[in-house]
Amino acid sequence: MKKWIILFCSTIISTLTFSQTLKEFREKGHTAFKSGNIDEAIQIYKKGVETFPKDATLYNNLGWMYYLKEDYKNAIIHLQKANNLEPNDAQTLKNIAEAYYVSNNSDSALVYASQALKINEKDGYGCFLKGKILMEQQKYELAITEFDKAATLNPDGAGIYEKRGYSKLMLEQYEEALKDFNILIKLEPEYHIAYNNRGYCTMMLKEYAKALPDFDKAIALRSDYSTAYNNKAYANFKMGKKEEACKDWQKASAMGNQDANNFVESYCKSMEMTIEGHRLSQGEKIIVSSSKTPVFKVSGIKAYSKIKLSVVLSKGVNLIVFKSNTTSTKSTYTTTDNKGKADINLSSLLDKKGNYQLHIEYTDSEGNTKEMDCIMKWK
């Protein structure tokens, strides 16, 4: 009888030791995480799962540490192990969804987010998570439905209004989007993207002057925010302030904003043109020799694809234009009407990044072949 009592007591002591050790792994790992020592936390949790391979919490915590290290592959592996041990744990399911979401696997992310909501449909963050996954899939109306639920459950969640506002913006529901961005700014008054997005909606409602203060505020909060510079430039451009617009487009382009770079190419580059040593400004005409020879005029210079040289020729005059040092690309123009006008498209002959000397040959009305050089330079 005494023997059985001793064995029973031994089992109790062993179990208590086991439980205390598991708790220790969890607490030490959490302490390392809270101190910002993610690598240390990973090592603690790794030892923990080796010692307690059936503890879902340790696997979940280890997976989340890998997530924070942006090692999403290992994050998913360990979170899946936690899910296998406890398949109805909503937090683990949401963690897996997050890991798939940032791994650009929105389909898998949606599966796990949906499973989490089946367990707890009144989970505000779960609704938000599902909404942002649907938004990533460009299913904006479905996303808004989830964000509506999230806002009801968690009315102070700033991220909800940002994502819902953006979804409405993408659906061109600008007035409704403005309401969300107004709430977002109240909740996060120092958030630069909120001001930019509100300004964008205002701009799309064609209230360009009203949009400018929001773009300025976004830039004040984040001086390297190229999107705000680009949007501010567009608003000024629509108000006819091209010079101001170009300054901001050039700033945004220098920051690597491709949209701004395209606007610079289209609206902000000027061209310097010289014919036989004489510099022409836009719209200026120059008569090369006599009234029977061509009159050249710079016009329509807005974008690289639209560069053209307007020419006035005497009736029956032929004009040949080609790149210097090559005859592989020639364009021949012959006037047939009394006005003698011809528009020469120079796009195929010019490189917007460099300077090219064009060679022009023309035959006047008396049959004399003449030549000239034309230098076109971007500046």
Task: Name, in order, each residue with C-beta under 8 angstroms of 243's C-beta and a sequence gap of 6 or more.
Answer: none
Phi, psi torsion values for 348, nearest 5 degrees: -75, -10
Return the CATH architecture of domain 271-378: Sandwich (2.60)
Q: What is the pLDDT of residues 299-324, one digit of tens each?
A: 333 333 334 444 444 444 445 554 44
Query: Would you list the domain boundaries of the chain?
Result: 23-267, 271-378
Phi, psi torsion values for 197, nearest 5 degrees: -65, -40
Q: Around Cβ 56, how many Cβ atoms within 10 Å? A: 19
Q: Around Cβ 291, how many Cβ atoms within 10 Å? A: 8
Phi, psi torsion values for 279, nearest 5 degrees: -80, 130
pLDDT at residue 254 tops 90: yes
Q: 364 falls in which pLDDT band (50, 70, 90)?
A: low
Q: What is the pLDDT of residues 79-95, one digit of tens each?
A: 999 999 999 999 999 99
Q: What is the pLDDT of residues 35-58, one digit of tens each?
A: 999 999 999 999 999 999 999 999
The percentage of the chain sitting over the pLDDT mark of 90, rounded to a whole number, equals: 63
Superfamily of 23-267 according to CATH: Tetratricopeptide repeat domain (1.25.40.10)
pTM of the predicted protein model: 0.70
- What is d(CA 363, CA 100) in angstroms, rounded to the nearest whole number? 69
Buried b (16+ CB within 10 A) or exposed e, 105-141: bbebbbbbbebbbeeeeebbbbbbbbbbbbbeeebbe
Say if residues 193 and 218 touch (Cβ distance below 8 Å): yes
